[in-house]
Amino acid sequence: MVVVTGQNKVSGNPDDAMSSSDAEDDFQEPATPTATQAGQSLPLLPQQFPEVVPLNVGGMCFTTRLSTLRRYEDTMLAAMFSGRHYIPTDAEGRYFIDRDGTYFGDILNFLRSGDLPPRERVRSVYKEAQYYSIGPLLDSLEDVQPLKGEKVRQAFLGLMPYYKDHLERIIEIAKLRAMQRKARFAKLKVCVFKEEMPITPYECPHFNSLRFERSESETKLFEHH
């Protein structure tokens, strides 16, 4: 057994002794300097925040209460200003967030009083809400236009198997037809049909009025996968 003391003295059996190079390999200094070795240039956690927080979001300045930023616990803003993470400050002492601040005011307005942005900014604010992980704002924006219409459209397209593949094929045929006719555009007639039972309320009124009588060959031709 070998014992290494503060004076690098070694005691033990001669057969078990390590060379000085082996001892140096086992007691290497850490590669990354600690805060003490760097002159304590790194901040000590947890970070303390004032009740009124000045912010610099991508060069745009805002001021809000700390409780507003912590309104919802599972958001990125609440985590950033929880004291567990270090946030740098600019020359004026404002806490800096490296993000475009164009729609950050809409984020704050929702955190303050639940206000939603105007329709023309809904998509952009939704993107920012995704970045900051603000679930309540995401849920609220999905229930207003234009996101609500897009949500309904995606749900409808989910009922149409291989919609994207068929759409790409239709465009390919239209381009070919336009090239053959040397025209600027081409018109195609597309017939969409469904042989399963209706699964949405919009299909029910028309379902019983449809009757198809086809031969066996026609059935195979119109079979839908």
Residues of the chain above pLDDT 70, percent = 64
pLDDT on residue 165: 80
pLDDT on residue 33: 45
Confidence of residue 114 (pLDDT cuts 50, 70, 90): very high
pLDDT tops 80 at residue 216: no
Task: Kindly report, residue by residue over 191-214, the tens digit of the pLDDT.
Answer: 766 666 555 555 544 444 444 455
Give the H or E element holding residue 97.
strand 95-97
Task: Kindly report, residue by residue over 67-97, the tens digit of the pLDDT.
Answer: 999 999 999 999 999 998 899 999 999 999 9
Mean pLDDT across 39-65: 83
The answer to whether the predicted template modeling score (pTM) of the entire model surpasses 0.95 is no
| Main-chain phi, psi angles of 136, to 5 degrees | -60, -35
pLDDT on residue 166: 81
Neighbours of 17 (CB within 10 A): 13
pLDDT tops 50 at residue 112: yes
Domains of the chain: 52-153 (3.30.710.10), 161-197 (no CATH)
- Bridge partner residues of 96 (DSSP): 56
Task: Kindly report, residue by residue over 150-190, the tens digit of the pLDDT.
Answer: 888 887 777 777 777 888 888 888 888 888 888 888 888 87
Helices and strands counted in the chain (H then E): 10, 5
Task: Kindly report, residue by residue over 121-146, the tens digit of the pLDDT.
Answer: 999 999 999 999 999 999 999 989 88
- Contacts of 17 by beta carbon, 8 Å cutoff, 6+ apart: 2, 10
